[in-house]
Chain A
Amino acid sequence: MSSIFSLTMVAETLRIAVPYACAAVAGVWAERSGIIQIGLEGILLTSAFVSVAVAVASGSAVLGLVAGVAAGAAFSLFHAVLVERARIDAVVSGIALNLLAFAGTRMSLRGLFGSASNSPSIEAFRFGPTGSRGVDLLARVLLDPVTILAVLATAATPFLLARTRLGLRTRAAGENPAAAAMSGVNVPRVRYTALLISGAICALGGVHLAFDQHRFESGMSNGRGFIALAAVVVSGWRAERAVLACLAFGALEALQIVLQDQANRSAGADLIQLLPYVATLLVLGFAAGRAAAPRGLGKHAD
């Protein structure tokens, strides 16, 4: 049992939670601005792939990070334009963009690296001690630049939404786009901005995912974008609570890793993987009805 309450566990939880938390905070930005965003999964994948591809090509992890974030932001902006300007259903756009990201990264993987499963290894960032357990692991997790950026972005979000002009206008666009427009707020522009921020934050999660594995793997986001979306709903569209939900998720997954590590793999061990999804469903069931979505979610200003 002791290993459950260890520094390793804390470190693993944090490490695992980063992509979830980034995607969830991204979801909060998008949906608080009024745009339904089920394409987080696609942004995670796209940014993970682009960051690795650029890192491989340039040999620079920093360039990879920048490119990944830019790709995520662009992908997210594309969604916003499709919804706000072309006026297509946000759910349809999200589905299509997820498919595009999934197929596009696989196709590019084969095109660029001649592999159907993964890219070559990259160096990514390596700071701190090298050990794989306890303090060493925790230190390394905390010193990771992508994690630091993710924590900063996550921590800044509630403040930005509550206390700045951009935040006020983003919330207005999400709560009542017609009223916001009548108040002189340029709703599409506010939403584009929110989605750019959203995409960039989500991309941090994607880059983290890839850099953590030191390579890109086909379909490596593995549903994290969807679980993050569930965290957004469960949290009532509040960033700080969504992050807490993601940490809980990280803990569940870390627990799974720790348990599998030590237990001899019994027949039902695989079923532990069900935990996060079943937990999400249960929480959704209990939280539903209490958490109120932004009232302008999915609505246009005119």
Chain B
Amino acid sequence: MSATPDEAPEPPVLRPLLPALLALFGIILLLNLISFAFGQAPLTTLRLALAGTWGTPYGIGQVLFKSTPLIFTALAFEIALRSGLFNIGAEGQVALGSLAGGVVGAHLPAGTPWPLAITICVLAAALTGAGVALIPAVMRARLGVHEIISTIMLNRIVEVLLPFLLVTVLGAAALRTVEVVPGAALLKLDAVFPALRGSAASVAFPLAVGLAFGVDALLRRTRRGREMRWIGINAAACRAEGIDVSRRLVQAMLLSGAIAGAAMVATVLGYKGYYELGLGAGAGFTGIAVALLGRGHPLGIVIAALLFGTLQQAGLAVNARVPKEAMDVLAAAVILLVAVANRAAAKPLTQVTPVVAPPAPASEEAAS
């Protein structure tokens, strides 16, 4: 632990990969245990899972497709988390955003050119997502209500509202919206890579990857993003130095909700072409796991999303032999595993040796 000033810092790219490797190992072990419990020979389920995901171009396409909304929701959680907020509300933000995007997309003039149509749909979804986040944001910033509980309540409220909106307000018979106009449909990736034929992957995936780097740049390079990060570290110090903490928190929460809402790019615009009840459900919660696994690095988040996308697709592949929920069990286990591994790997700041030779209060600090 010799901390000399010129010691090279750990390469930042490797750090998120280490827990990911551990997670992978844990997944394989646990999957085999579960398979065994369901009477499957060791490794058959694993083989089946791999074959159904990375084994074929179609499977790969499906993994990309499943990962895409997870990148969005993970980024949504990430932005809030960096600002010191737990936005557990992505679930509701995704759902209502998807509904809004779908409705708007369906009501555009049939001939709307695609750049315009897609922009309008995404904007509608993002604004709606932000709108859902506005309530917990304001409650937190102005009243001090903790966002965990308020976002959870809003998830429930959205859940109740959705069928009501679909049936009563929109008059939809089948709990789904009308098809969006052709211009709003996203290009499928198999148009570029014919091998992916039949898979639901769309250009939403590269968009999501780009967004991951965009969010990273925002948090590192812009004043707004940096102040959000500082607030996440020590809000009291930021307030004392004149940073408008409430405002930044609201902004972070709104941005988080907007990104969650924009996840509909992958499901509504990139896949179904309409919104139906339940589309994208679960992405909000899984996104939390992805963000925790990705550890604040854009590439880490993409890789983690691919991992969870793989799990989801694998669940479908093995469903005949092992319930697909086994994959969610794996996901939960991964969160815990990674959290423990990260904790063990991270050296707490208080134990870091002060750099200068006779550092006065080291004793007091280390002891308190």
Touch A–B, Cβ below 8 Å:
yes
Q: Are B339 and A99 in contact (CB under 8 A)?
A: no
State how many angstroms separate the Cβ of B17 from the closest Cβ of chain A: 20
Q: Are A86 and B326 in contact (CB under 8 A)?
A: no
Q: Are A281 and B289 in contact (CB under 8 A)?
A: no
Q: Are B150 and A281 in contact (CB under 8 A)?
A: yes
| Residues of chain A with a CB closer than 8 A to B34's CB | 107
| Residues of chain B with a CB closer than 8 A to A229's CB | 149
| Residues of chain B with a CB closer than 8 A to A38's CB | 148
Q: Are A270 and B160 in contact (CB under 8 A)?
A: yes
Q: Are A271 and B143 in contact (CB under 8 A)?
A: no
Chain B interface residue count, CB cutoff 8 Å, equals: 45
A88 with B153, Cβ < 8 A, contacts A100-B333, A104-B329, A284-B145 known: no
Contact of A92 among B153, B292, B329, B368 (CB under 8 A): B292
Query: Among A48-56, A59-67, A140-148, A272-280, which stretch is in contact with chain B?
Result: A272-280
Q: Give residues of chain B (136-168) contacting chain A, Cβ–Cβ below 8 Å.
A: 139, 143-146, 148-150, 152-154, 156-157, 160-161, 163-164, 168
| Residues of chain B with a CB closer than 8 A to A271's CB | 160-161, 164
Q: Are A226 and B323 in contact (CB under 8 A)?
A: no
Q: Does B305 make an interface contact (CB < 8 A)?
A: no
Q: Are A96 and B139 in contact (CB under 8 A)?
A: no
Which of A88, A110, A274, A280 has the most chain B CB within a 10 Å cutoff? A88
Residue of A nearest to B156 (CB): A277
A223 with B152, Cβ < 8 A, contacts A111-B37, A111-B38, A288-B139 known: yes
Contact of B323 among A96, A99, A106, A280 (CB under 8 A): A106
| Residues of chain B with a CB closer than 8 A to A111's CB | 37-38, 323
Q: Does A103 make an interface contact (CB < 8 A)?
A: yes
Q: Are A267 and B168 in contact (CB under 8 A)?
A: yes
Q: Are B144 and A289 in contact (CB under 8 A)?
A: yes
A103 with B38, Cβ < 8 A, contacts A82-B336, A88-B339 known: no
Give Cα A102 to B329, complex, Å. 8
Q: Does A87 make an interface contact (CB < 8 A)?
A: yes
Give Cα A288 to B56, complex, Å. 54
| Residues of chain A with a CB closer than 8 A to B344's CB | 86
Q: Are A277 and B38 in contact (CB under 8 A)?
A: no
Q: Mark A245-285, 1 if CB is under 8 A from B, else 0.
A: 00000000000000000000001101101100110110011
Q: Are B323 and A107 in contact (CB under 8 A)?
A: yes
Q: Give residues of chain A (206-243) contacting chain B, Cβ–Cβ below 8 Å.
A: 223, 226-227, 229-230, 233
| Residues of chain B with a CB closer than 8 A to A285's CB | 139, 143, 145
Interface set of A (CB-CB < 8 Å, partner B):
38, 82, 86-89, 91-93, 95-97, 99-100, 102-104, 106-107, 110-111, 116, 178, 223, 226-227, 229-230, 233, 267-268, 270-271, 273-274, 277-278, 280-281, 284-285, 288-289
Not counting A88-B340, A100-B329, a sample of 16 additional A-B residue pairs whose C-beta atoms are within 8 angstroms of each other reads A38-B148, A86-B340, A96-B335, A99-B332, A103-B325, A103-B327, A110-B325, A223-B156, A233-B149, A267-B168, A270-B163, A273-B160, A277-B157, A278-B157, A285-B145, A289-B143
Q: Report the 8 A-B pairs with minimum CB-CB distance, sorted nearest first.
A: A103-B328, A100-B332, A96-B335, A88-B339, A107-B325, A99-B332, A110-B323, A106-B325
